[in-house]
Amino acid sequence: MTIKSGIYEHYKGGRYRVIDIARHSETEEWMVLYQPLYGEQKLWVRPFDMFAETVNIDGNDVPRFRFIGSE
């Protein structure tokens, strides 16, 4: 399981830096470690499957997070 490090844009508009993936110690679920590029910029994790999924907006499937480039 891999994800490209770099800058992603959430479908609602926020930008985030993806740092790496990690495994949850209890469930062994893959998580994405990322940092918002606004506000306090604290680190967050989100399940990999949720990070990589598509969402339906007005009848169109779009990625929840769209890769926009390396740093």
**pLDDT band, residue 1 (cuts 50/70/90):** confident
Give the pLDDT of residue 71: 75
Residue 18 CA to chain centroid, in angstroms?
6
pLDDT band at 2 (very low <50, low <70, confident <90, very high): confident
Domains of the chain, each with CATH number or no CATH: 4-67 (2.30.30.320)
Measured distance between the N- and C-terminal CA atoms of the chain, rounded to whole angstroms: 21
Q: What pLDDT digit, counting tens, does each position of 27-68 carry?
A: 999 999 999 999 999 999 999 999 999 999 999 999 999 999
Residue (of 4, 48, 54) closest to 22 by Cα position: 48
Tokens read off for 12:
């609602």
